[in-house]
Structure 1
């Protein structure tokens, strides 16, 4: 019998375990984080569930975390040197700090800040009122 490949943790988290070879597996986690305006309890529950999902992955497995974290992680490379590079942009918000903390705890790297780009290419959204 094959192990269960996917697991719905809740309406915001799902995991997929890919067994690539006898000695190699990859865990893919799809996450949709609460917005910055969400209740504190909702955010705490989400990050607790994410922490449990990450902790349940065997150490030898590769991890890919696909996400919509509703965050700004900023560019504070000195503090988060093993999690983001010096190519980030802006200032971190509360959700960004939660994400960076989880990534640091589990040895994950936020890859969209690893690649050197012109500042105008580093963001994908523009705020309607402030146009930032």
Structure 2
């Protein structure tokens, strides 16, 4: 699963627990979380999940922030994880001779300057290229993209759920 929470509340004000209860409701074992607005990086147990997170430096204004929440019963499968910055992190799991790496992303909005977008996609490219080829790769997150409603041109590529009248963005 994947969810943009727009602020998760590092102060443990209950929003984090509500989000984890929602993940339980939908029976999600792994979920990418974007826009946590948490500082630093680390891991914290919330409900039935271990949440690995990557955010801004302590002295910076809160923005962005990504996390991967994994059900407690699967934490023993986690082999490594790496916070990259406030927009990208990854977590690897192995079980029964299968390795999977989950990448959690939060792309700059379409209104962001081109330099910020280029930096994000270059970093994501470096991260993806650094994942061992034998791993299954799952990239999850909020790419802040709009796909428009041109279903006929993109038949077989996009579904019929584009926003009518919405322009496709360059994200």
Q: TM-score, normalization: structure 1?
A: 0.57
Number of positions where the alignment pairs a residue of Structure 1 with one of Structure 2: 91
- For the 8 Å contact 1:34–1:42, the answer to whether it is kept is yes
Describe the SS at the equivalent of 1:71: coil
1:19, distance to aligned residue in structure 2 (A): 1.0
Q: Structure 1, residues 43-76: CA drift from partner, whole Å, max 9, x if none? A: 1100000011111122332121121111113455
Structure 1 unaligned segments of length 5 or more: list them: 96-132
Structure 1 or 2: more helix by fraction: 1
Matched, 1:40 2:109: no
Structure 2 unaligned segments of length 5 or more: list them: 1-77
Describe the SS at the equivalent of 1:94: coil
Structure 1 or 2: more strand by fraction: 2
RMSD over equivalenced CA pairs, Å? 2.5
> Out of 68, 89, 99, which is 2:162 matched to?
89
Q: TM-score, normalization: structure 2?
A: 0.45
- For the 8 Å contact 1:16–1:28, the answer to whether it is kept is yes
